[in-house]
Amino acid sequence: GSIGKDGYRHYMEKELHEHPLVIGQTLQRMVDPASRRVMLPEMPFDLASVPRAVITACGSAFYAGMIGRYWLEDIARLPVDIDVASEMRYRNPPLTAGSLGLLISQSGETADTLAALRSLREKAVHILSVLNVEHSTMARESDVVLGTVAGPEISVASTKAFTAQLTVLACLSIAAARARGTLDEAGEDALVSALLDLPSRAAEVFTQGPAIRRMAQIVVEARDVLYLGRGSMFPVAMEGALKLKEITYIHAEAYAAGEMKHGPISLIDRTVPIVASAPYTPLFDKTLSNLQEAKARGGRLLVFTDTKGADRVSAIAEEMVVLPHVHDFVAPILQTIPVQMLAYEVAVLKGTDVDQPRNLAKSVTVE
Ligand code: G6P
């Protein structure tokens, strides 16, 4: 049947509110409730002996893949290469047979991602796809499909499918780590607990609506916005910048916070707001010192942090959004929600066509 907006102003707003539900549904599919262990479907290859993974995707799904790379490298000690599909399909990377091709797509139909899948297939790699539409072309051409249980996503700009992709990639990283002997049972318990805790922590993000709307009042006046993050927060910043461009038509650029001094610092003045994702992780101090550098040059700081980082952030930020503090591992999943909400609130202030932004398509089936 047709899907309504359930009283929300736009599909995007409705889908943003589905983050907690979708993360929970995806976890139900991947975590055994009794043993609290990650249980993936049977795979026709062994994650223990995969020499390398190649991740490829487009748009938001690519940023999910970048976070997946941090996890697979860090937890599972698996070497990872990653590129956007429109480049990967022409790159011809040297790959040992038996490597893993990891494709990520909401629709399962994106032309470049499908072409990249086929070019990886020619190299005799195993094809594992993380897909929301489980009866799609990519699903048919994959050796294994890990489904994101996000339900239909109507808004052209992806929201809930992205956190569902992250949830699947987190579970895959845990499973790969267990198979490769790089994560013991206590370590797995800690990561799984952090994941299972996420739906309720995600629901708490919506109490931050007023602070996000105050940030939106500043961003809507800007012509350019700089997004910053370090480590797994860098792809979160990229996702935030992409969302802002897509639905508000305001130029935004994401930078790894530590790289800012090698270029974009010259852009900073009062007219270029800086949106930073800075929860209290091991990289918090480093991120904060980058933000101080920006502030010293007249930058206005709009900072997403958490309860453990709030005191120190409040000393320098003009506006801040405080989320619950969670395990570092899942922090990028939680921190994605408010950066997407910020783009949405700016679009509402600008009065753009939020669900159908100009020039964009939900699924790009041409090269
Ligand atoms: C389009 C959409 C994006 C999406 C990208 C990849 O550009 O506007 O929101 O991230 O395609 O789509 P996919 O279906 O492959 O995830």
Q: Let me know: does 300 contact 316? Beta carbons within 8 Å.
A: no
**Which H or E run contains 257?**
none
ipTM confidence: 0.96
Closest ligand 1 atom, residue 156 Cα: 8
- Indicate yes or no: pTM above 0.95: yes
Site to substitute for ligand 1 among 364, 365, 367, most atoms within 8 A of C-beta: 364
The pLDDT assigned to 2 comes to 67
* Per-residue pLDDT tens over the stretch 16-55: 999 999 999 999 999 999 999 999 999 999 999 999 999 9
Name the residue among 343, 367, 342, 349 with its Cα closest to residue 156: 343
* Per-residue pLDDT tens over the stretch 194-241: 999 999 999 999 999 999 999 999 999 999 999 999 999 999 999 999
Task: Tell me which residue has its CA closest to atom 8 in ligand 1.
Answer: 362
Structure tokens at 94: 């040297």
CA–CA distance, 220 with 345 (Å, rounded to integer): 9
Higher pLDDT, 56 or 354: 56
For residue 266, give Cα distances in angstroms to 228, 272, 294, 324: 15, 11, 10, 33
Structure tokens at 120: 């990886």
Q: Is the beta carbon of 157 within 6 A of some atom in ligand 1?
A: yes
Ligand 1 center to 106 CA (angstroms): 7
* Per-residue pLDDT tens over the stretch 78-119: 999 999 999 998 998 899 999 999 999 999 999 999 999 999
Catalogue the active-site residues.
362
The pLDDT assigned to 1 comes to 46
Ligand 1 center to 80 CA (angstroms): 22
CA–CA distance, 256 with 70 (Å, rounded to integer): 14
CA–CA distance, 248 with 233 (Å, rounded to integer): 22
Higher pLDDT, 261 or 146: 146
Q: Is the beta carbon of 58 within 6 A of some atom in ligand 1?
A: yes
Q: Residue 288: which residues within 8 A CB-CB, separation 6 or more?
A: 278, 309, 312, 313, 316
Q: Residue 122: which residues within 8 A CB-CB, separation 6 or more?
A: none
Structure tokens at 26: 């995806």
Ligand 1 center to 143 CA (angstroms): 22
